[in-house]
Amino acid sequence: MNGQNRKDILPGIAVDIVLKADQRSGKLTSGVVKDILTNSSFHPHGIKVRLTDGQVGRVQEIKTK
């Protein structure tokens, strides 16, 4: 699942995000969602979230169990 739809993302789920500094390289960072920062229901580059460790980025993939 990609991270473009806000309804798919809930606090507490595991995701892969791309940090602002890593957008050119596409390097992904794994973590658990703490806050959802994007207000719109859809974003073509991924919904922006804050992870539990404080890092902020756009969701590229939602990890399934």
Each residue of 12-46: pLDDT tens digit? 999 999 999 999 999 999 999 999 999 999 999 99
Global pTM value? 0.93
At residue 48, what are phi and psi to the nearest 5 degrees?
A: -80, 130
pLDDT at 65: 65
User: Alpha-carbon dihedral of residues 3, 7, 12, 17, nearest 10 degrees?
Assistant: 10
| Domain chopping of the chain, boundaries | 6-62
CATH architecture of 6-62: Roll (2.30)
Which helix or strand (DSSP H or E) is residue 49 part of? strand 48-51
* Cα angle value 57/61/64 (rounded, 5°): 130
* Token pair 């606090």: residue: 11
